[in-house]
Amino acid sequence: MAPPDPEGDRGAAGAMAPGKKITARIKRTLPVKGPQAPTLSELMRWYCLNTNTHGCRRIVVSRGRLRRFIWILLTLSAVGLILWQCAELLMNYYSASVSVTVQFQKLPFPAVTICNINPYKYSSMKDYLSELDKETKKALETFYGFSEGKSKVRRSVDEGNSTGSDFFKQIPLLKFEDFSKTATDLRSGQKRKIEGSVFHKDSSIVNSGDSNDIIGFQLCDANNSSECALYTFSSGVNAIQEWYKLHYMNIMAQIPLETKEKLSYSADDLLLTCFFDGLSCDKRHFTRFHHPLHGNCYTFNSGENGTILSTSTGGSEYGLQVVLYIDEADYNPFLVTSTGAKIIVHDQNEYPFIEDIGTEIETAAATSIGMHFTRSRKLSKPYSDCTETGADIPVENLYNKSYSLQICLHSCFQKAMVDSCGCAQYAQPLPAGAEYCNYKKNPNWMYCYYRLHEKFVKEQLGCQQICKDACSFKEWALTTSIAQWPSTVSEDWMLRVLSWDKGQKINKKLNKTDLANLMVFYKDLNERFISENPANTLVILLSNFGGQLGLWMSCSVVCVIEIVEVFFIDSLSIVMRRQWQKAKKWWNDRKRDRSGKPPEAGDLERQGHDNPVCIDEDLPTFNTALRLPLPQDNPLPRTPPPNYSTLRLETAFTEQLPDTLEVGQH
């Protein structure tokens, strides 16, 4: 093969097109490195020499160990600061700021639910509660000497014995002495030892009075009589009321709903007068719904007919004004100890939890309730752990109203009650296919209920962990003021007129302790809207990232892409290539060992080796390989020379590449 002619090569290069000249020059000047580097150390060296981040380059090109150590320390510090600042930016990105907006406009009037504190007329309930009342009066006589006359008490006791009452047999009232577990059974009058865990139902377990005043009752598991719980009260009033309420719920659970609605108050019984926004209203503006603990309740402006009333003027004259007939004489003396009504202001789509957040209205007084309307909106995930509609909560909504935290908690407890006790608690709606608890079908329900309620309060049922706050809700902040009503000078004529308005429905003159005046109104028409907004947007986050990278590492997006390419893609390819070579070598050795043939000399000659004389960083070309000296004494197998017949490519290439011209010039 004739040596190349330099003059001819330069002439061929001069005849090349300008684009090809630039391409040839780039190929000649750029080192063949990067992804083709054989080791990770060479890849890192190539990266430090060619990267746009100045710190990495200074580590390689700096002379002296001290200067190189300083640059390593500064670069690592900058990387640490970048990671810290970027973490702060990410945490700040998922935070939210609160904004408050106040608008002045015509406001929709909320729904106002009104209930009598006494759920059912006592005169109508006596037939159902007579046996329970007799046992309660006997307990009062035994504990405190309370008596309505010897003949009445004797007759009550005889009737109780004749009917074979099981109230005290199932849940006896007990009197404890000196905080010990020695108690006196009220029915037999005998002392006995009581076993079981003690639970104090009052806020304080310390009794400041006589220790003999400690009263409670024992609940035992019907399936295991050794499993018992003692519930003690520092006040006899609380103990008797709690005991009475348990049996009361057991009785009411067995009465049909239609019958209970007839036993409670009608709209004509509860409402005497009604005004809204200066205009007269009546019972047609109220919607009845039955509450298990409060009987018939009536909601003004419920929105069931598709119309929601609104008001355009604030002040007591333009709100809701009603006069309620309480009828204190027909109250149950053991079930309720206060007189009046309960109201709750709520949205039309919300369930009125009277027993939880209701406001009590007292009799012989005018109660004014001023409202401020606030709408709140929270951001859902990832900013907070709230729910939009409750569809993502694994708890069935038993109230047929929009989702709220209270609905979720009550529904969760009711489901746990049905699963654990086999029946539903009376104060909450019935799940599908369930029945309310009563002694006849569920003799163990009281013990099961108290145990379950104890777990619920201690957050051991998991309801507090499952249920979440609603992301959007409406709230009416209430300000209550009370004045004497009617006044002394106007009492006579007002009571006479109201008695006449009541007509033939009552046969007596009204007493002011039977009446309550209620006014509900907007104090102003300022609608407050509280909303959460993201503290940072995606654009601001990326800008902050870019600022941190540029400040500490003089780096840009291109630099980040370069880091990903080198440290992830190229490094992974080198590691995988090394592993593949090892696996291939292991497989070839295994095949050779199985065949039992020693490696041939031709195989060793065909294997390449690293020539220690070659210190050029670039990959060797054909011309440079010819100038490499042979190793002394031929300790390693030589690289076989190329097959020259394959180099005859004159017909494939019409021009000689410029990088082959330099060989002839030296």
pLDDT exceeds cutoff 70 at 584? yes
**Averaged pLDDT for residues 34-53:** 68
What confidence score (pLDDT) does residue 480 get? 93
Distance CA 449, CA 461 (A): 13
Indicate the residue type of 133.
Answer: D
pLDDT at 1: 43
Average pLDDT over residues 443-450: 85
How much is the pLDDT for 439? Answer: 80
Q: In whole angstroms, how large is the CA radius of gyration of the chain?
A: 45
DSSP class of 180: S
Does the pLDDT value for residue 193 go beyond 90?
no
Query: What is the overall mean pLDDT for the chain?
Result: 76
Q: Centre a 10 Å sphere on the Cβ of residue 37 and count the other Cβ atoms it contains.
A: 20
pLDDT digits (tens, 9 = 90+) for 461-493: 889 999 999 999 899 999 999 999 989 898 888
CB atoms within 10 A of CB 27: 12
Chain mean position to CA 441: 37
Does position 337 have pLDDT exceeding 90, yes or no?
no
So what's the pLDDT on residue 147?
66
State yes or no: pLDDT of 317 exceeds 70. Answer: yes
Q: How long a stretch of residues is the chain? A: 666
CB atoms within 10 A of CB 382: 8
Q: Evaluate if pTM is beyond 0.75.
A: no
Q: pLDDT-derived band of residue 209, with 50, 70 and 90 as boundaries?
A: very low
Q: Please state, in angstroms and rounded to a whole number, the distance separating the CA atoms of residues 408 and 387.
A: 11
Place of tokens 């070598």: 585
pLDDT (0 to 100) of residue 158? 41
* Mean pLDDT of all residues in 275-288: 90
**CA separation, residue 299 to residues 317, 354, 423, 428, 430 (Å):** 20, 12, 30, 19, 22
pLDDT at 181: 63
Average pLDDT in the 237-258 region?
Answer: 87
How far apart are the two ends of the chain, measured CA to CA in Å? 19
Mean pLDDT, rounded, for 253-260: 91
Residues 6+ apart with CB under 8 A from 115: 291, 294, 295, 296, 297, 298, 341, 342, 343, 354, 358
Instruction: Pick the range with the lowest mean pLDDT from 29-38, 181-190, 334-343, 402-411.
Output: 29-38
Mean pLDDT of 215-233: 74
pLDDT of 103 reads 62
pLDDT number for residue 276? 93
- Which of 74-88, 432-446, 610-624 is modeled with the greatest confidence? 432-446
Higher pLDDT, 81 or 121: 121
pLDDT for the residue 629 = 62
